[in-house]
Amino acid sequence: MRTLLIWGLAAAFVLPAWALDNNIKMPVNLDRLAARATESVDVTLDASTLELASKFLSKDDPDQAQVKNLVSKLKGVYVRSFEFDKEGQYSLNDVESIRQQLKTPEWSRIVGVKSLKGENSEVYLQKNGSKIGGLFVIDAEPKELTIVHIDGPIDPEELSQLGGHMGIPNIGRSGKHENVKGAAKSGNKDQE
Amino acid sequence: MTEFEQQLARALERREPPAGFTSRVLAEASRQRPVRSRWSAWRWTLALRAAPVMAALLVVAGGALYQNHERIERGEAAKQQLLLAVRIAGAKLHDAQQRVVSIGEIRGAGIEEEQ
C-alpha cells in the first residue's frame, strides 16, 4: 500500500513534467499570422497519422523509402511556415513563447545564427539519455517565418542526407550548393 | 356470294366444342395447379428471406468499400503532408547549416588576411 502510494505520488509529479517537455505548444498567435501571410503551411502529424502516412510511402522510390525509414520511430511532425509579401509582418515575440518552452534542461540549442540581414536560424535538440529525442528549428527571415518540430528520435544527419532529393538543396563541405533539385517550397504550400 | 366468301363463312362459322371439353380442361388445370403454386411459393419465400440478407451484405460491402476509400484518401493526404514537412525541415536545416558554414568561411578569410 505504501509502495503504491509512493509510486502514485511519483507519477503525479513526473508525468506532468514529462508531458510538458514532450508537448511543446505552438502559440495561438502563430495562427493569426496566417491571415497576414501570402502563403502558409500548417502540418500536424501525430504518431497515428505518421504511421498511416508511412504505409503509403513507396518502398520502390528511394527518396520515399528514406523518409519511411526516417519517420518510423517518430512520434510527431509539426510544421508552421508563413511567407509574407512585405517585411515586418511578424515580430520575434511571436515565437518567444516557443523559445521559453525550449529553455529546459532537455533541450539544448546547437545552432543560433543571427545575421544583419535579419536571417536568423536556431536549431534545438532534445536529449533523451545519450540519444536525440527531438528536433526544433526556428527559421526567421524578413519575409518568412518557419517553425519545425520533430518529436521522436531523429538523426539530423539522416535528414540532411535527403539533401539533393525531394527539393531539399544539397550543401557541400564548402558551403556551396552541390545539387539543387528545385526549391524546398516548390508550390506545395497550397496543399494545406 | 362468291366462292371465296362462302369458304370464309364456313371457316368462321360457330362450332360447339366436343362433349366433355370443359370438364377435361378444368380437370387438367386442377391437376397442374398445386405443383406450380408450390414452386412459386417456395421461390417467393426464398426471395423474401434472401432480400434482407442481400441488402445487409450490400450495406456491409458498401461500408467497407467507403471506409477503404476514406482510409486511402486520408493516407495519401497524410503522405503528402509528411513529404512537405520533411522538405521544409530539410531545407531549413540546410539553411542553418549554410549560414554556419558561411560565417566560418568569413572568419577564416579574416584570419588569413590578418596573417
pLDDT digits (tens, 9 = 90+) for A54-104: 999 988 888 888 888 888 889 999 999 999 999 988 887 888 888 888 998
Burial label for B35, CB within 10 Å (0-12, 13-18, 19+), is: exposed
Residue A156 CB: number of other CB atoms within 10 A?
20
Contact check, Cβ <8 Å, B87/A148 = no
Q: How far apart are CA A139 and CA A156, in angstroms?
A: 16
Helix intervals (H) in chain A: 2-22, 28-36, 47-55, 62-71, 96-101, 156-160
Task: Identify the closest residue of chain B to A168 by CA–CA distance.
Answer: B91
* pLDDT tens profile B49-87: 899 999 999 999 999 999 999 999 999 999 999 999 988
CB pair distance less than 8 Å for B93 and A123: yes
Grid cell digits, residue A78? 509539426
Of all residues in chain B, what percent carry a pLDDT higher than 90?
32
A40 touches chain B (CB under 8 A): no
Do the bridges between strand A131-141 and strand A39-46 make them parallel or antiparallel, or are there none, so unpaired?
unpaired
Rg (CA), chain B: 46
Cα–Cα distance, A150 to A137 (Å, whole number) = 9
Question: What's the one-letter identity of residue A87?
Answer: E
Residues A147, A125 contacting (CB under 8 angstroms): no
- Distance, in Å, from the CA atom of B6 to the CA atom of B2, rounded to the nearest integer, reads 6
Question: Which residue in the set B78, B92, B98 is minimally distant from A53, CB to CB?
Answer: B78
The CA radius of gyration of chain A, in Å to the nearest whole number, is 19
Please indicate whether, in this complex, the C-beta atoms of A113 and B96 are within 8 angstroms of each other.
Answer: yes
ipTM of the complex: 0.72
- Report the alpha-carbon distance of residue B15 to residue A84 in Å, rounded: 103
Domains of chain A, by residue range, sit at 2-161
The pLDDT of residue A40 is 92
Check CB contact of A139 with chain B, cutoff 8 Å. Answer: yes
Q: Name residues 106-135 of chain A within 8 A of B (Cβ).
A: 111, 113, 115, 119, 121-123, 135
Q: Which of A71, A137, A175 sits opposite B101 (nearest CB)?
A: A175
pLDDT of residue A114: 87
| pLDDT surpasses 50 at A13 | no
- Quick one: cell of A50? 505518421
The whole-angstrom separation of Cα B18 and Cα A142 is 112
β-partners of residue A120 are A140
Q: Which residue matches cell numbers 442481400?
A: B54
Closest CA to A53 of B11, B84, B14: B84
